[in-house]
């Protein structure tokens, strides 16, 4: 027993390596759940701190209730009780607002009609009251409380923005009706104008949506009452009355009067912090259910909380697999280190075990010794590993730069009890690996005794084919997974594929490493001129592949000639290669074999009828390389016989001693592959986030949400931004919807020159020619434009209808210098003869003024109605203007083909032609024939300023898949609901801010598109709604902050710098992944260092006899050291190179699925695999330095070798 126990003390360094390897593997096993839980909690706290203010908003939209003060008070009490039962002392503030239903609003110059009238739009709005409004606003003019002596009206306040938008004045009366025939009439007098003071509660900093509500276009109130026309894009008017007046309104007369209640509360956001991120989500869900149960029909939003939790969960799901791949690979490295240590330990003990066996020690006692030893190591590491993993997790959390008061070491460990389970599972796995090696060692010891008398020893079957068996098992698992499952490299969102996606990289790495271990000695034998076995294997694989490939490609239409050619090629190739492999053959036979192989390759390429695909050419090149290697082999034999000892000796030892370096090589390849995977996935992860941020932003600064109703529209904002120092360019963009056939699409109208020069593009968006393609949209307008003289005050024309049209009116569309269009009425077409029709030019239009279109209007039919209109035709002649002195000037004789019909339908389109049927003056006039269809209630003619007559667009690649449409072939599509003549002149793969995976997109010229659309828009114009700013990044001025501070409230300003910083700070899993990748590199370096030292120490103890033999042959110690150095660096160098290459290739296969995209749920732009070489290169340099240092230590041991003592021992 003492002899057995002494073995542990004599081999302490190998036991320590075994312990460290097991500790590394178990620590990584426990690290996963602890670290992920910490990242989730830290991510949640980080998102909370990014929310402005100290509260979480709770918004409750009550159901629409019949107007009653008692009913409103009852619902208010219910909400109060529920709020305090859930949040109690955490409530920072609480407000409520009551809002009436939507009314039609009438005021000066825009009254509510008494009968159906669609010639103009009617405003809409409501009366509303907000608790504690007075102390939280700044009154700009008027008064809060004005005496209402006659009680015939309510006193109301409006916001400054509402006053500017609708040009209201103090004392102005507004009438409210549900419909044009409603008996109930509410009168409101404007008594004050205010704006929020933004000083107190957070609620008043985000109240714009209630003070200045958005348009009703996408709400249940979008459809107006019968008989009136409204502008869907015009915001409603909110009229704020006192709570007392609202009570009177609620109790007042009016059937079917409904009131909406809205409650707002601010909850201290720190009250949601918990050790489990599911707690705030469950709390929010429970609160919502309680409110909805108590207040049927209500809607509850606990803003941010559920979104934050879901966002964290999405990021965690995306990061889980990639983190697990790293952790699994680190566990693999630890287990391989265990295998290396166990190999060294058992090999060093073999002579002692053999001696103990001969002295009568039983196999059971030896096996029990191993079991106790391994059990002790696994138990200790299984217990210590979670503690170490917790310390590492806490350290990495500290390095994120985000502080957390709730995350400490105890909470990390207590909230992840499963870490102990994972630790012990990995410990058991490591123990099984070590036990397997130990059992093999004991079997070897027994076999040595059996072969002692026979005088020879044969390696056991398990020892000889151990790696082949492992390779076979791993290969079977990998092939089965890839061929017989549908989850290979599937999205990580599929739960069934997460485990296999996590294990597959490690399996592939180990399998390829094992394969290389088998091929490496064969390659060494070839390079040393001792064997061509590697050539035989490569040739057989290449020949079999090309033969099968040719047969498979021609299996459907195989003819006798191709079969004969294939057989001839196969016969010549096999014969030629066989002749070159015959031992002791003459030189002429060897040359003949090479000639036959070369002839067969040339024959197959030049003289056969077999199709030469790229795959075929690569196969022939492959066979040609094999032929070249056969030609080189005799020279390698010649070099080997004359090479120096420091070259030939390492090759000889590597050729015959692969069992000594196989485990180390396996560890090195796997570790190098892990470093490459970590840096590749990490580099790709960072680039994906940066590229998608740029793709989403397009330029340095993106301003969206600009409304035409704002005081500063897109044009004014563009001019303002352009005037800032540090701004290179600012360009307007219009984003609208459209359709091509039945396919809906998103349309982006841009300035093709400015946008192309300022936006971010990548070469793969359109083969590097994005700017060139966009330049094709820069088509100048022709000379057909019709401008009015500056002194013009009226415009008119001579018109002859084909008959009297009592319900048709003639309209003209004018455009001023600012791009604003105005529609004017020239009168009714109720005369059948030639009539002089004149209208005043609006004074709001600034010169130069342009006539864009002449239209007919038929009131009484809704804009989107499918009802048939009145058909007919009219003749137009002599368009003229009248100046201030009543001087008449003709600007168009209507005898040129500058006018085109507005498209109304592709079935029976309208048309315009030059005719002499009816002429007022001159030789010709223009005849416009119109049918029963309209283009959004528009019929008429317009000046088409494009030579092709169609608006050019660039489409996404999806357009090429449409059957009925072709590039450069005109067609009619819809743009913002308007039938439009289009032509696609080119296609593009990707374009910033547009996502082809969501919908087809079109890119057009903003000047072309706005000109045409505003001809069709009449009362509601279509204007640019975004501005993109390109800033000078070398300037120290913070342009993003400046633009945010000077932009109107309601717009969204996205600064690319802030966006990138937000991604880095907001996606804590990205930061955590990067920290883990760096940590993994450190762990790999440590494992390689320990394994390398253990390997060299083992070799120095087991190669003493070889060293003595070399010294006896006259080789000095320096030459022996050089031989060992060359041998060791060749093994390690090959392992690092192969591991790096394999890791890179595996990363290419899995990086698309293992790279989390954060909250950007899109695949655009496509992922570009990027390797961070600044991580790999330093890591390899450190590993090389450690290798050199350990080799120097080993060389020192060589210098201290006592040759006489070794000789005596031998």
pLDDT per position as a tens digit, 838-892 = 999 988 788 899 999 999 988 766 555 667 888 999 999 999 999 988 899 999 9
In sequence order, what are the residues at sequence separation of 6 or more whose Cβ sits closer than 8 angstroms to the Cβ of residue 762?
Answer: 691, 990, 1165, 1168
In sequence order, what are the residues at sequence separation of 6 or more whose Cβ sits closer than 8 angstroms to the Cβ of residue 324?
Answer: 32, 498, 502
What is the distance between the alpha carbons of residues 207 and 188, in angstroms, rounded to a whole number? 23
Is the pLDDT higher at 571 or at 479? Answer: 571
User: Which has the closest alpha carbon to 198: 135, 131, 136?
Assistant: 136
Residue 362 has pLDDT above 80, yes or no: no
Q: Is 464 exposed, middle or buried (0-12, 13-18, 19+ CB in 10 A)?
A: exposed
What is the distance between the alpha carbons of residues 670 and 512, in angstroms, rounded to a whole number? 9
Write the pLDDT tens digit of every residue in 81-111.
888 888 877 887 777 888 888 899 999 878 8
pTM above 0.75, yes or no: no
pLDDT of residue 11: 67
What is the distance between the alpha carbons of residues 694 and 698, in angstroms, rounded to a whole number? 5
Q: How confident is the model at residue 239 (pLDDT cuts 50, 70, 90)?
A: very high
pLDDT of residue 636: 77
Is the pLDDT higher at 385 or at 520? Answer: 385
- Which DSSP category does 542 fall into? H
pLDDT of residue 839: 92
Residue 318 has pLDDT above 50, yes or no: yes
Q: How confident is the model at residue 1209 (pLDDT cuts 50, 70, 90)?
A: very low
676 contacts 1143 by C-beta, under 8 angstroms: yes
Residue 1019 has pLDDT above 70, yes or no: no
User: What are the helix (H) ranges across 554-612?
Assistant: 560-581, 587-606
SS3 64: coil
Provide the percentage of residues in the chain whose pLDDT is more than 90.
16
Is the pLDDT higher at 249 or at 1105? Answer: 249
Residue 78 has pLDDT above 80, yes or no: yes
H or E segment to which residue 139 belongs? strand 137-142
Is the pLDDT higher at 1157 or at 175? Answer: 175
SS3 70: helix
What is the distance between the alpha carbons of residues 1031 and 86, in angstroms, rounded to a whole number? 48
Q: How confident is the model at residue 1157 (pLDDT cuts 50, 70, 90)?
A: very low
Mean pLDDT of the region 888-897 = 91
Tell me which of 198-212, 913-927, 1168-1182 is least confident: 198-212
Tell me which of 323-327, 333-337, 588-592, 972-976 is least confident: 323-327
Q: What are phi and psi of 238, to 5 degrees?
A: -95, 120
SS3 598: helix
Sign of the CA dihedral running 1099, 1103, 1104, 1110: negative
Write the pLDDT tens digit of every residue in 543-575.
888 888 877 777 666 667 777 777 888 888 888
What is the distance between the alpha carbons of residues 613 and 546, in angstroms, rounded to a whole number? 12
Radius of gyration of the chain (CA): 42
For residue 848, is the peptide bond before it cis, meaning its omega torsion is within 30 degrees of 0? yes
Q: What share of the chain is helix, strand, coil (3-state, %, to 5)?
A: 50, 20, 30
Most confident range (mean pLDDT) of 654-658, 826-830, 859-863 is: 826-830
Tell me the sheet residues that pair with 154.
Answer: 188
DSSP letter string over 357-420? HHTT--HHHHHHHHHHHHHHHHHHHHHHHHHHHHHHHHHHHHHTT---SS--HHHHHHT-THHH
Q: Within a 10 A sphere around the Cβ of 113, how many other Cβ atoms?
A: 16
pLDDT of residue 365: 66
Q: How confident is the model at residue 912 (pLDDT cuts 50, 70, 90)?
A: very high
Residue 63 has pLDDT above 60, yes or no: yes
Q: What are phi and psi of 914, to 5 degrees?
A: -85, 125
Q: How confident is the model at residue 928 (pLDDT cuts 50, 70, 90)?
A: very high
Tell me the sheet residues that pair with 798.
Answer: 836, 877
Residue 751 has pLDDT above 80, yes or no: yes
What is the distance between the alpha carbons of residues 413 and 645, in angstroms, rounded to a whole number? 58
Residue 484 has pLDDT above 50, yes or no: no
What is the distance between the alpha carbons of residues 669 and 674, in angstroms, rounded to a whole number? 9
For residue 1165, is the peptide bond before it cis, meaning its omega torsion is within 30 degrees of 0? yes
pLDDT of residue 490: 43
What is the distance between the alpha carbons of residues 329 and 317, in angstroms, rounded to a whole number? 19
Residue 217 has pLDDT above 70, yes or no: no
292 contacts 283 by C-beta, under 8 angstroms: no
In sequence order, what are the residues at sequence separation of 6 or more whose Cβ sits closer than 8 angstroms to the Cβ of residue 132?
Answer: 95
User: Which has the closest alpha carbon to 261: 82, 63, 83?
Assistant: 63
Tell me which of 137-146, 512-521, 590-599, 726-735 is least confident: 512-521
Mean pLDDT of the region 689-704 = 87
Quote the mean pLDDT of the chain.
Answer: 78
pLDDT of residue 478: 52
- Which DSSP category does 59 fall into? E
User: What are the helix (H) ranges across 742-784?
Assistant: 752-758, 770-775
Most confident range (mean pLDDT) of 164-168, 169-173, 410-414, 530-534 is: 169-173
Q: Is 1034 exposed, middle or buried (0-12, 13-18, 19+ CB in 10 A)?
A: exposed
943 contacts 784 by C-beta, under 8 angstroms: yes
72 contacts 65 by C-beta, under 8 angstroms: yes
Mean pLDDT of the region 693-722 = 85
Mean pLDDT of the region 352-356 = 61
Residue 766 has pLDDT above 70, yes or no: yes
pLDDT of residue 1001: 93
In sequence order, what are the residues at sequence separation of 6 or more whose Cβ sits closer than 8 angstroms to the Cβ of residue 953?
Answer: 747, 777, 982, 983, 984, 985, 1002, 1003, 1004
What is the distance between the alpha carbons of residues 234 and 1095, in angstroms, rounded to a whole number? 79
Q: Which tokens is 1068 given? A: 């804590």
Q: Which tokens is 336 given? A: 């391989």
Q: Which tokens is 324 given? A: 């697990």
Residue 436 has pLDDT above 50, yes or no: yes
Mean pLDDT of the region 604-626 = 80
What is the distance between the alpha carbons of residues 824 and 998, in angstroms, rounded to a whole number? 41
Tell me the angle at which helices 1068-1102 and 12-50 cross, rounded to the nearest 10 degrees: 170
In sequence order, what are the residues at sequence separation of 6 or more whose Cβ sits closer than 8 angstroms to the Cβ of residue 958?
Answer: 743, 996, 1000
159 contacts 193 by C-beta, under 8 angstroms: yes
Mean pLDDT of the region 40-68 = 74
């Amino acid at each position: 027993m003492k002899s057995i126990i002494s073995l542990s003390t004599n081999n302490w360094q190998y036991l320590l390596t075994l312990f460290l390897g097991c500790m590394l593997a178990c620590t990584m096993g426990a690290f996963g759940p602890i670290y992920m839980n910490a990242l989730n909690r830290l991510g949640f706290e980080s998102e909370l701190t990014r929310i402005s203010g100290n509260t979480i908003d709770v918004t409750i939209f009550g159901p629409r209730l019949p107007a009653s003060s008692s009913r409103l008070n009852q619902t208010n009490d219910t909400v109060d009780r529920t709020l305090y039962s859930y949040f109690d002392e955490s409530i920072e503030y609480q407000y409520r607002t009551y809002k009436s239903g939507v009314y039609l609003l009438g005021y000066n110059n825009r009254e509510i009609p008494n009968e159906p009238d669609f010639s103009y739009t009617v405003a809409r709005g409501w009366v509303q009251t907000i608790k504690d409004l007075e102390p939280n606003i700044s009154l700009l003019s008027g008064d809060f409380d004005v005496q209402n002596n006659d009680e015939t009206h309510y006193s109301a306040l409006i916001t400054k923005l509402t006053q500017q938008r609708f040009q209201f004045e103090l004392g102005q009366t507004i009438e409210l009706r549900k419909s044009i025939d409603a008996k109930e009439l509410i009168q409101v007098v404007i008594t004050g104008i205010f704006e929020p003071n933004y000083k107190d509660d957070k609620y008043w900093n985000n109240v714009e949506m209630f003070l200045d509500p958005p348009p009703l276009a996408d709400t249940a109130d979008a459809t107006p009452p019968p008989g009136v026309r409204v502008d869907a894009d015009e915001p409603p008017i909110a009229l704020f009355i006192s709570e007392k007046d609202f009570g009177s309104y609620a109790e007042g007369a009016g059937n079917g009067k409904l009131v909406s209640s809205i409650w707002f509360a601010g909850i201290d956001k720190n009250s949601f912090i918990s050790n489990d991120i599911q707690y705030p989500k469950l709390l929010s869900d429970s609160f919502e259910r309680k409110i909805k149960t108590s207040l049927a029909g209500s809607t509850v939003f606990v803003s941010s909380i559920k979104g934050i939790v879901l966002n964290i969960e999405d990021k965690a799901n995306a990061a889980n697999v990639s983190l697990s791949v790293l952790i699994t690979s680190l566990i693999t490295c630890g287990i391989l280190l265990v295998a290396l240590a166990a190999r060294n330990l058992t090999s060093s003990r073999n002579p002692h075990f053999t001696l103990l066996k001969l002295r009568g020690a039983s196999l059971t006692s030896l096996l029990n010794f191993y079991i106790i030893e391994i059990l002790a190591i696994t138990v200790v590491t299984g217990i210590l590993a979670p503690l170490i993993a917790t310390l590492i997790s806490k350290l990495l959390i500290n390095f994120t730069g985000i502080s957390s008061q709730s995350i400490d070491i105890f909470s990390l460990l207590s909230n992840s009890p499963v870490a102990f389970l994972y630790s012990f599972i990995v410990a058991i796995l490591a123990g099984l690996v070590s036990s397997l090696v130990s059992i093999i060692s004991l079997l070897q010891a027994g076999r040595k005794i059996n072969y002692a008398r026979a005088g020879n020893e044969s390696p056991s079957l398990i020892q000889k084919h151990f790696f082949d068996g492992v390779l076979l098992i791993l290969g079977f698992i990998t092939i089965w997974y890839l061929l017989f499952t549908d989850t290979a490299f599937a999205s990580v969102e599929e739960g069934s594929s997460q485990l296999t996606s996590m294990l597959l990289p490690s399996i592939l790495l180990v399998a390829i490493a094992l394969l290389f271990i088998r091929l490496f000695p064969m390659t060494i034998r070839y390079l040393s001129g001792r064997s061509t076995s590697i050539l035989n294997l490569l040739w057989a694989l290449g020949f079999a592949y090309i033969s099968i490939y040719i047969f498979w490609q021609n299996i459907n239409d195989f003819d006798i000639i191709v079969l004969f050619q294939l057989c001839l090629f196969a016969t010549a190739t096999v014969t030629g290669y066989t002749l070159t492999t015959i031992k002791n053959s003459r030189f002429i036979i060897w040359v003949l074999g090479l000639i036959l192989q070369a002839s067969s390759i040339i024959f197959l390429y030049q003289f056969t009828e077999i199709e030469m695909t790229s795959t075929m050419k690569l196969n022939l090149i492959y066979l040609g390389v094999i032929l070249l290697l056969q030609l080189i082999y005799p020279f390698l034999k010649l070099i080997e016989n004359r090479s120096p000892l420091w070259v030939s000796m390492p090759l000889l030892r590597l050729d015959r001693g692969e069992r000594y370096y196989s485990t180390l090589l396996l560890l090195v390849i796997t570790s190098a592959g892990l470093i490459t995977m970590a840096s590749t996935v990490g580099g790709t992860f960072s680039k994906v986030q940066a590229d998608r941020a740029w793709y989403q932003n397009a330029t340095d600064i993106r301003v969206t949400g600009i409304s035409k109703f704002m005081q500063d529209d897109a044009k004014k904002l563009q001019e303002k931004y352009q005037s800032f120092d540090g701004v290179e360019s600012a360009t307007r963009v219009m984003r609208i919807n459209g359709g091509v056939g039945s396919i809906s699409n998103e349309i982006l109208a841009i300035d093709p020159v400015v946008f192309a020069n300022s936006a971010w593009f990548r070469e793969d968006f359109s083969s590097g020619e994005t700017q060139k393609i966009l330049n094709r949209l820069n088509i100048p307008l022709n000379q057909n434009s019709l401008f009015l003289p500056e002194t013009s005050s009226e415009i008119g024309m001579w018109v002859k209808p084909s008959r009297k049209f009592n319900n048709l009116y003639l309209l003209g569309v004018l455009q001023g210098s600012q791009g604003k269009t105005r529609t004017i009425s020239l009168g009714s077409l109720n005369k059948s003869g030639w009539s002089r029709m004149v209208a005043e030019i609006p004074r709001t239009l600034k010169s130069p003024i342009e006539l864009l279109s002449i239209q007919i209007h038929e009131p009484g039919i809704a804009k989107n109605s499918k009802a048939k209109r009145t058909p007919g035709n009219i003749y137009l002649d002599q368009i003229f203007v009248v100046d201030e002195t009543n001087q008449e000037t003709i600007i168009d004789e209507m005898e040129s083909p500058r006018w085109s019909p507005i498209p109304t339908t592709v079935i029976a389109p309208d048309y315009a032609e030059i005719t002499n049927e009816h002429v007022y003056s001159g030789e010709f006039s223009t005849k416009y024939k119109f049918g029963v269809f309209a283009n959004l209630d528009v019929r008429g003619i317009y000046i088409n300023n494009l030579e092709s007559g169609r608006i050019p667009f660039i489409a996404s690649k999806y357009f090429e898949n449409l059957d009925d449409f072709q590039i450069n072939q005109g067609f009619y599509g819809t743009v913002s609901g308007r039938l439009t003549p289009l032509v696609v002149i080119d296609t593009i793969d990707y374009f910033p801010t547009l996502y082809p995976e969501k919908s087809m997109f079109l890119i057009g010229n903003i000047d072309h598109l706005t000109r045409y659309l505003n001809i069709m828009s009449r009362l509601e114009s279509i204007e640019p709604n975004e501005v993109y700013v390109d800033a000078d990044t070398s300037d120290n001025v913070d342009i993003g902050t400046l633009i945010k501070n000077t932009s109107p409230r309601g717009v969204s300003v996205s600064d690319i710098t802030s966006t990138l910083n937000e991604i880095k700070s907001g996606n804590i899993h990205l930061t955590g992944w990067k920290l883990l990748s760096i940590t993994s590199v450190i762990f790999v370096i440590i494992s390689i260092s320990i394994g390398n030292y253990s390997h060299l120490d083992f070799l120095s103890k087991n190669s003493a006899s070889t060293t003595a033999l070399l010294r006896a042959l006259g080789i000095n110690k320096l030459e022996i050291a050089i031989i060992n150095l060359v041998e060791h660096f060749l093994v390690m160098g090959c392992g690092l190179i192969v591991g790096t290459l394999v890791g890179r290739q595996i990363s290419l296969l899995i990086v698309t699925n293992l790279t989390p995209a954060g909250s950007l749920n899109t695949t655009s732009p496509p992922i570009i695999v990027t390797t961070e070489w600044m991580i790999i290169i330093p890591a390899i340099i450190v590993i090389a330095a450690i290798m050199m240092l350990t080799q120097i230590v080993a060389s020192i041991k060589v210098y201290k070798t006592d040759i006489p003592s070794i000789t005596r021992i031998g």
